[in-house]
Amino acid sequence: MMLLLSVASCEKWIDTDLNIDPDAPAEVPMKLMLPAIEQSYGYLLAGFDLVGTTNLWMQQIDGVARQGHTIARYQLLPADVNNTWNSIYTEIFMNGKLLVNVAENTEGSYSPHNAGVAKVIIGATLGVATDFWGDMPFSEGFRGNENVLTPAFDTQEEIYDTLNVILDNAIADLSSAENAVDVDGDVIYGGDVDLWKKAAYSIKARHTLQLSGVNGNAAYTAALAAAANGFTSNADNLEVPWESANHNPMFQFMEQRGDVRMASTFVDLLEAQDDPRLPFYAEKDDNEEYRGCIIGSQDESASKLGEYIAGAEVSTVMMSYAELKFIEAEAHFQLGHTTEAEAAFEAGVKASVERVAGDWDQDWFDTNLGSQTLSLELIMKEKYIATFGTNQAYADYRRTGLPVLEMHPDAVLSAIPTRFPYSQNEMDYNGDNVPSVTISDKLWWDK
């Protein structure tokens, strides 16, 4: 309060125009705001703090030293998630809301398409974030001059309702015939609003399916309804590009720290089915072999992460056509639609192989996968392989318990963590509202 009073009194005698830089616009153009938000989206949600941690816990990679080994043993502290938690709120939620405000409220420049793109990114980020943290502050935030400094936490059930409203509003905005300013600066889809609508529907399908433990068959039916309007090929994938001046976040981690290797759990699974994605997921070791690190062995000579995941200028896949087909495969299978489930399953494997390795070998599929009776275990195994380098395997594992994984031999907990801790900053400055949880407590949808 003292600070507010002093500022108010100063304004009476200080020229308020004194510190205005005529070369720095008070309002940043949408075409400059959007790419920054998109790059933050890719960096935060596909960087090591989230993807690296979940891929370690899912034994797709293993930690061989320092941070990697610590996290692989299920040790994650509130201070470890400070940067990610804070950046999600400032770089995506706050900046995204600013973009929406400019798009919707600038006189003579009503631009719902720009607002729709921002809402897709906000909704997608909110969905991933709540799948890590559960209850989160949201409804009491981002109110401009009415911002609450110690916001209450919305329940995860409320957050899920909110993200669906956000995505529905995004779809409506992107469908608007009225739009004053083109979606310039869009590094993901080049301003193609139809692709952004497909992304919104695909993300809705992802999070609708995530509620299968809560809603049962209704979740599968709703997921299929959303998927029907989603991606139709790999060309539709939601991907954030990287280039020489702004490298892929996993490349940056491997270049700067490099304390993880491919895990034997994952490499052995790929080798067992002669999988064509292995040379792209992993590098060869010094003996010119693809060899995973035995969990807990800290074997730094095992294969490093491959070009598909950690190439310097390789795009990060945020939501893929392959993932969408596996969503359809699971939903159809659980509803007893065997023929549709088999077709979606094959389409999912094909989309993943083509996106990762380039070529599709029908004989390989028929020999290794097509000859097996379709089961939930098979669907989730192949989805686990296809979504490597994303956070989706961790979400699916908590929901289904698949694939079956053994505990890390040096684990500090009795089971794989089921959530992230809240950030230390949040506990320090909003402690009265932060739920009391451990990383072994289940989320609302984790039945």
Query: Is it the case that residue 5 has pLDDT exceeding 80?
Result: no
Average pLDDT for 282-297: 97
The band of 108, judged by pLDDT with boundaries at 50, 70 and 90, is: confident
DSSP type of residue 62: E
Cα 252 to the chain's mean position, in Å?
18
Count CA atoms within 13 Å of residue 192 on its CB side: 12
DSSP type of residue 337: -
Q: 392: how many CB neighbours lie within 10 A of its CB?
A: 26
DSSP type of residue 319: E
* Global model pTM greater than 0.85: yes
Nearest in space to 105 (alpha carbons), one of 93, 92, 114, 117: 114
Higher pLDDT among residues 447 and 169, named by residue: 169
Nearest in space to 98 (alpha carbons), one of 192, 196, 27: 27
The band of 14, judged by pLDDT with boundaries at 50, 70 and 90, is: very low
Average pLDDT for 365-376: 97
Query: Is it the case that residue 144 has pLDDT exceeding 80?
Result: no
Q: Is 306 left (phi over 0), alpha (psi -120 to 50) or beta?
A: beta
Higher pLDDT among residues 246 and 20, named by residue: 246
Average pLDDT for 83-95: 97
Pairing of strands 260-262, 316-319: unpaired
Residues 116 and 198: their CA atoms lie apart, in Å, by 12
pLDDT one-digit tens code per residue, 31-57: 999 999 999 999 999 999 999 999 999
Name the token pair of 333. Answer: 């299978």
**Does the 28-249+259-429 domain belong in CATH 1.25.40.390?**
yes
Which residues, other chains included, contact 308 with Cβ-Cβ below 8 Å and sequence gap of 6+?
A: 277, 280, 281, 314, 356, 389
Contact 293, 264 (CB under 8 A): yes
Query: Is it the case that residue 340 has pLDDT exceeding 80?
Result: yes
Dihedral of the CA atoms 230, 40, 152, 155 (nearest 10)?
Answer: 30
Lowest mean pLDDT among 137-146, 210-219, 247-256: 137-146
- Containing H/E element for 340? helix 338-356
pLDDT one-digit tens code per residue, 60-73: 999 999 999 999 99
Name the token pair of 243. Answer: 């280039």
The band of 393, judged by pLDDT with boundaries at 50, 70 and 90, is: very high
Dihedral of the CA atoms 134, 140, 141, 147 (nearest 10)?
Answer: -150
User: What local confidence, expressed as pLDDT, does residue 302 receive?
Assistant: 98
The band of 447, judged by pLDDT with boundaries at 50, 70 and 90, is: confident
